[in-house]
């Protein structure tokens, strides 16, 4: 496949567990240093379209993967969406890339990256980039994401309704005008309704019981970043164990990772660099892609051999 800039994109499929295949797009020079891009919960590998292409053109071998239960990757046969499952998948894809990969993870992908590298699942990692996530996050941001993900269990009648929902969540970003682009984040059921492109079981933690999604917010099972709340000490330990170059990127308008959470990460990882992207919320790469890419490229350029 060739993208709009003429870059060749190769499809990678890797079975990381029995009955579970991870799909990734790989681009850039075959001998380029590897970078693994991991998206946030509820997203797909296409969330990295602008960043993956920019890094590939700069000489990096980039792989953007669909996390298990998302996009074209398999839904977990056993319903396992625990942190270590995502981290193990990421480590295996990184191993397939070879060399010393840089892990770039947004939100859930950042959690997976932190565990994979900090707990030694990816011993050859060259560096880690955490995008708007850290062990300490804000409950109000958690609640807003949870509300968004649980709001439409029966899906949408049209792509216009999908665009309206996205615009209502990302108030600081213009409403999507390319409705065809939304097809990468939703799929159409046989009855014609559009639903998000992820396994509904992902909404529950690996040890949550099956309870209705309309119960009170405080009793809901964790979703994506809310998982961090139950694993904060584990993530703090993983952060303390980081010895590779580390970059934390925060959207200045994020209500999930606030300044105190960023400061806490810097205390846990004293050698970490910090970049704040003005005008961006939690979806940093999508909100301000040029500024985000510049922060990533500056960091990568400065990495030691």
Residue where a domain stops, chosen among 184, 219, 254: 219
Considering the domain architecture, whether residues 130 and 261 belong to the same structural domain is answered as yes
Per-residue pLDDT, 231: 77
Choice between 278 and 223, residue whose per-residue pLDDT is larger: 278
| Domain assignment of residue 147, yes or no | yes
Per-residue pLDDT, 177: 78
Per-residue pLDDT, 6: 58
Considering the domain architecture, whether residues 23 and 128 belong to the same structural domain is answered as yes
Considering the domain architecture, whether residues 82 and 210 belong to the same structural domain is answered as no
Considering the domain architecture, whether residues 43 and 20 belong to the same structural domain is answered as yes
Q: What is the mean pLDDT of the chain?
A: 88
Considering the domain architecture, whether residues 173 and 295 belong to the same structural domain is answered as no
Does the pLDDT of residue 207 top 80, yes or no?
no
CB 94 within 8 A of CB 104: no
| Domain assignment of residue 1, yes or no | no
Residue where a domain stops, chosen among 204, 219, 234: 219
Considering the domain architecture, whether residues 269 and 132 belong to the same structural domain is answered as yes
pTM summary value? 0.88
Considering the domain architecture, whether residues 177 and 49 belong to the same structural domain is answered as no
* Mean pLDDT of the 208-227 span: 38
Neighbouring-strand partners of residue 275: 249
Could you report how far apart the first and last alpha carbons of the chain are, in Å? Answer: 31
Domain count, the chain: 2
Per-residue pLDDT, 187: 87
**Residues 240-258: tens digit of each pLDDT:** 999 999 999 999 999 999 9
| Domain assignment of residue 129, yes or no | yes
C-alpha 112/C-alpha 83 separation (Å) is 6
Considering the domain architecture, whether residues 153 and 103 belong to the same structural domain is answered as no
- Domain with 159, as residue range(s), is 140-219
The model's confidence at residue 54, banded by pLDDT at 50, 70 and 90, is very high
| Domain assignment of residue 4, yes or no | no
The model's confidence at residue 3, banded by pLDDT at 50, 70 and 90, is low
| Domain assignment of residue 124, yes or no | yes
| Domain assignment of residue 295, yes or no | yes
Q: Look up residue 269 and give its two tokens.
A: 């990882």
HEC letters along the chain? CECCCCCEEEEEEEEEECCEEEEEEEECCCCCCEEEEECCCCCCHHHHHHHHHHHHHCCCEEEEECCCCECCCCCCCCCCCCHHHHHHHHHHHHHHHCCCCEEEEECHHHHHHHHHHHCCCCCCCCEEEEECCCCCCCHHHHHHHHHHHHCCCCCECCHHHHHHHHHHHCCCCCCCCCHHHHCCCEEECCCCCEEECECHHHHCCCCCCCCCCCCCHHHCCCCCCHHHHHCHHHHHHHHHCCCCCEEEEEECCCCCCCHHHHHHHHHHCCCCEEEEECCCCCCHHHHCHHHHHHHHHHHHHCCCC
| Domain assignment of residue 3, yes or no | no
Considering the domain architecture, whether residues 144 and 199 belong to the same structural domain is answered as yes
Look up the CATH number of the domain holding residue 49.
3.40.50.1820
Considering the domain architecture, whether residues 110 and 149 belong to the same structural domain is answered as no
Residues in the chain: 305
* Mean pLDDT of the 205-228 span: 38
Per-residue pLDDT, 230: 55
Considering the domain architecture, whether residues 203 and 271 belong to the same structural domain is answered as no
Q: Closest Cα to residue 274, out of 233, 229, 284?
A: 284
**Residues 33-52: tens digit of each pLDDT:** 999 999 999 899 999 989 99
Considering the domain architecture, whether residues 49 and 134 belong to the same structural domain is answered as yes
Does the pLDDT of residue 214 top 50, yes or no?
no
Does the pLDDT of residue 210 top 50, yes or no?
no
Choice between 228 and 179, residue whose per-residue pLDDT is larger: 179
Residue where a domain stops, chosen among 219, 249, 283: 219
**Residues 264-292: tens digit of each pLDDT:** 999 999 999 999 999 999 999 999 999 99
**Residues 110-169: tens digit of each pLDDT:** 999 999 999 999 999 999 999 999 999 988 888 888 788 888 888 999 999 999 988 888
The model's confidence at residue 223, banded by pLDDT at 50, 70 and 90, is very low
| Domain assignment of residue 283, yes or no | yes
């Amino acid at each position: 496949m060739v993208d709009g800039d003429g870059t060749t994109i190769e499809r990678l499929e890797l079975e990381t567990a029995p009955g579970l295949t991870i799909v990734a797009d790989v681009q850039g020079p075959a001998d380029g240093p590897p970078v693994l891009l991991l998206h946030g919960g509820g997203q797909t590998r296409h969330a990295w379209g602008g960043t993956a292409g920019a890094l590939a053109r700069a000489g990096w071998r980039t792989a953007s993967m669909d996390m298990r239960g998302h996009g074209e990757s398999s839904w977990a046969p056993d319903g396992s969406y625990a942190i270590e499952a995502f981290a193990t998948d990421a480590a295996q894809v990184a191993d397939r890339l070879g060399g010393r990969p840089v892990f770039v993870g947004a939100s859930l992908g950042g959690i997976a990256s932190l565990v994979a590298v900090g707990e030694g699942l990816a011993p050859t990692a060259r560096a880690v980039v955490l995008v708007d996530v850290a062990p300490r996050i804000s409950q109000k941001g958690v609640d807003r994401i949870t509300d968004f993900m649980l709001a439409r269990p029966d899906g949408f009648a049209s792509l216009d309704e999908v665009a309206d929902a996205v615009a209502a969540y990302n108030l600081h970003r213009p409403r999507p005008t390319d409705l065809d682009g939304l097809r990468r984040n939703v799929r159409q059921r046989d009855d014609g309704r559009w639903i998000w492109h992820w396994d509904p079981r992902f909404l529950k933690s690996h040890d949550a019981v099956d309870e209705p999604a309309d119960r009170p917010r405080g009793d809901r099972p964790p979703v994506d970043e809310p998982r961090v709340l139950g694993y904060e000490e584990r993530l703090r330990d993983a952060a303390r164990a980081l010895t590779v170059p580390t970059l934390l990127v925060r959207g200045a308008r994020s209500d999930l990772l606030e300044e105190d959470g960023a400061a806490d990460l810097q205390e846990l990882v004293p050698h970490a660099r910090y970049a704040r992207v003005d005008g961006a919320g939690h979806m940093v790469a999508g909100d301000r892609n040029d500024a985000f890419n510049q922060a990533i490229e500056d960091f990568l350029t400065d990495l030691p051999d």
